[in-house]
């Protein structure tokens, strides 16, 4: 009688605790490199998209002046020449207060003096708001209100000075500043990179 052939027992080996811990550590290291890089690239993409929109708004300001022989004073007037889309549909405000651009979550506001227009755009979610700063500057208000008032400071800084001192609290991490001079036709758009602390920058020059 032939003996039955022996079959090897199935292996029950798995990862040891040391191997599991090593795998988790490797995943953590990869994540610590990949996630910030992805976040930075996404922020750059949003800034680039918003920069293109700001350039289009400059063109619409010039188009309106050429077509109507007057300076635009509201988003509604600019929207009449070509639609400017916001998160709530076409821009139709009767002023140049900040609007939120569709798609990028950037807010853009305009200041005008004579024939010179200053445009500033920021990503409000990148503002590093501080409770102490908000209360000290504005009193008892919400973070949302503080961010809006800080943005007004950011617009004023670029409007009033060729070398404004700005910070992440007021302008976010990747603001955009632009100008348009309808007297001499000059225009410029500047993307400002990675604002993490108070820093002096150069405003766009349309003089």
pLDDT recorded at residue 26? 60
Query: Is it the case that residue 28 has pLDDT exceeding 70?
Result: no
Whole-angstrom distance, CA of residue 192 vs CA of residue 38 = 19
Confidence of residue 197 (pLDDT cuts 50, 70, 90): confident
77 band by pLDDT with thresholds 50, 70 and 90: very high
- At 175, the pLDDT band (50, 70, 90 cuts) reads very high
Per-residue pLDDT, averaged over 81-92, amounts to 93
Query: Is the pLDDT confidence value at 10 over 70?
Result: no
Give 151's contacts (C-beta < 8 A, 6+ positions apart): 98, 107, 109, 120, 122, 124, 127, 170, 171
Q: Is the pLDDT of residue 47 over 70?
A: yes
Q: CA-to-CA distance for 61 and 117, rounded, in angstroms?
A: 9
The mean pLDDT value for 181-204 works out to 94
Tell me: the pLDDT tens digits for 93-127?
A: 999 999 999 987 899 999 999 999 999 999 999 99
User: Could you give the percent of the chain with pLDDT greater than 70?
Assistant: 83
Residue (of 112, 130, 52) closest to 84 by Cα position: 52
Specify the range with the lowest mean pLDDT, choosing from 26-40, 49-63, 79-93, 123-137.
26-40
Alpha helices for the chain (secondary structure H): 17-68, 75-81, 131-138, 143-160, 168-171
**Lowest-confidence pick of 9-13, 125-129, 130-134:** 9-13
Exposure string (b/e) for 69-93, b if CB count within 10 Å is 16 or more? eeebebbebbbbbeebebeeeebee
Predicted TM-score (pTM) of the model is 0.81
Kindly indicate the confidence band of residue 196, based on its pLDDT and cuts at 50, 70 and 90: confident
> What percentage of the chain has pLDDT greater than the value 90?
73
pLDDT band at 20 (very low <50, low <70, confident <90, very high): low
Where along the chain do its domains lie?
18-200
C-beta of residue 75 within 8 angstroms of C-beta of residue 88: no
């Amino acid at each position: 009688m032939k003996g039955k052939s022996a079959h090897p027992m199935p292996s029950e080996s798995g990862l040891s605790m040391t191997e599991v811990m090593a795998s988790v550590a490797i995943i953590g290291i990869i994540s610590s490199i990949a996630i910030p890089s992805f976040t930075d690239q996404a922020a750059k993409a949003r800034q680039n998209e918003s920069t293109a929109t700001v350039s289009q708004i400059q063109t619409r300001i010039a188009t309106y002046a050429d077509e109507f022989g007057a300076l635009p004073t509201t988003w509604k007037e600019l929207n009449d020449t070509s639609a400017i889309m916001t998160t709530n549909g076409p821009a139709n405000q009767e002023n140049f207060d900040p609007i939120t651009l569709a798609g990028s979550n950037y807010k853009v506001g305009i200041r005008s003096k004579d024939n010179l227009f200053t445009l500033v755009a920021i990503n409000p979610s990148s503002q590093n708001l501080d409770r102490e700063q908000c209360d000290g500057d504005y009193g008892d208000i919400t973070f949302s209100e503080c961010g809006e008032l800080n943005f007004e400071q950011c617009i004023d800084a670029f409007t009033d000075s060729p070398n404004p001192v700005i910070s992440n609290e007021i302008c976010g991490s990747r603001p955009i500043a632009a100008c348009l001079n309808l007297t001499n036709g000059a225009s410029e758009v500047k993307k400002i990179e990675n604002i993490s602390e108070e820093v002096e920058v150069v405003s766009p020059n349309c003089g």
